[in-house]
Amino acid sequence: MESPGLSAPCPVQLQRARWERKRVCTARELLETERRYQEQLGLVATYFVGILRAKGTLRPPERQALFGPWELIYGASHWLLPYLEGGHWGQGLEGFCPHLELYIQFAANAERSRTTLQEQLKKNKRFRRFVQLQESRPEFGGLQLQDLLPLPLQRLQQYENLVVALAENTGPNSPDHQQLTRAARLISETAQKVHTIGQKHKNDQHLQRVQALLSGRQAKGLTSGRWFLYQGWLLVVPPHGVPRPRMFFLFSDVLLMTKPRPPLHLLQSGTFACQALYPMAQCELHRVFGHSGGPCGGLLSLSFPHEKLLLMSTDQEELLRWCHNLTLAISSQKN
């Protein structure tokens, strides 16, 4: 039997208490991870960037290509940390936002940084010995330079997760609610821009790889300015005769059908000759059979203004992947 003087807790107060607990935990995690982040930034800035500048082991253009705006990012963390340590979350994070442009610059340089590191480790013996010496320092705890270089981009994702959570669990009456909300929005926008840059880098790598696989005059320029979606073997089913295996490359706007060069070809063994290019904006896709999800695969019908393709796969999962990616390409062109 309840005591007459006690009343049930107010749901609003319980919710506010939950928000406050989450806010405190998120703020603590943001502070602790920022300290570790700054420490790791400092290791690279001190033992790599600074010493390389002093010793001249790398020329300035190569050093800039390798590290980009690393020291400026380190300085931005130095600026932010005292605000977090003092509990000035809104003021600190909103003031930090003008530094977010550095992360976009860093992302745009990421592929150049990776290739520069690989090239210098391969051909610059003096640099290779220097890197090995620095990585053996106990301060690095076994981490290698290649492990540390992606650190700012990893931290940006942490910023987004933590600052958004901090803003969501800060009450609207809190003095730093608006500052945290603005900071969360700007950090999320920056993270999206960085993600887009990363996707473009990956697509460029795919296009270069596909271009290297294609041979002949018709292949030149086929991959320029488009997004790679999928590739794989499919059987082309003719009106009469035996199905023929062909390698297909699907891009955002076209489907490329190729056939392999003979394995004994002196110059082009392992490459593919272009046979036909189909515009996805003019494509109508239908599944002829294979709807039941059985193990026998299925048949896809691709209709174009002047031609119709029947493509077969004996693998049900492969058929589903093709169907998904073809639908994606068609809808992107028609929308």
Length of the chain, in residues: 335
Q: Is 250 helix (H, G, I), strand (E, B) or coil?
A: strand
Say which amino acid occupies 302.
L
Q: Are 81 and 34 in contact (CB under 8 A)?
A: yes
Does 284 score more than 80 pLDDT? yes
Q: pLDDT for 232-269, tens place per residue?
A: 999 999 988 899 999 999 999 999 999 988 876 556 66
The whole-number average pLDDT for the span 84-91 is 95
Higher-pLDDT residue of 270 and 61 is 61
Number of C-alpha atoms within 13 angstroms, CB side, residue 210? 29
The whole-number average pLDDT for the span 63-84 is 97
pLDDT for res 72 = 97
CATH for the stretch 216-334: 2.30.29.30
| DSSP state string for 31-50 | HHHHHHHHHHHHHHIIIIII
Superfamily of domain 11-203: Dbl homology (DH) domain (1.20.900.10)
Kindly indicate the confidence band of residue 1, based on its pLDDT and cuts at 50, 70 and 90: very low
Q: If you average pLDDT over every residue of the chain, what do you get?
A: 90
Q: Where are the beta strands (DSSP E) in the chain?
A: 214-215, 228-236, 244-251, 254-260, 272-279, 284-289, 298-304, 307-313
pTM summary value: 0.82
Does 128 score more than 50 pLDDT? yes
pLDDT for res 54 = 93
- φ, ψ for residue 302 (rounded to 5)? -115, 115
Q: Are 126 and 57 in contact (CB under 8 A)?
A: yes
pLDDT for res 109 = 96
Query: What is the strand order of the sheet 214-215 is part of?
Result: 214-215, 272-279, 254-260, 244-251, 228-236, 307-313, 298-304, 284-289
Query: Which of 10-24, 75-89, 140-154, 302-316 has the lowest average pLDDT?
Result: 10-24
Q: Could you state, in order of their start, the residue ranges of all structural domains in the chain?
A: 11-203, 216-334
Does 7 score more than 70 pLDDT? no
Rounded distance between C-alpha atoms, residue 60 and residue 56, angstroms: 8
The whole-number average pLDDT for the span 221-234 is 88
The whole-number average pLDDT for the span 194-223 is 86
The whole-number average pLDDT for the span 205-212 is 90
Does 12 score more than 70 pLDDT? no
Q: pLDDT for 167-200, tens place per residue?
A: 999 888 888 999 999 999 999 999 999 999 999 9
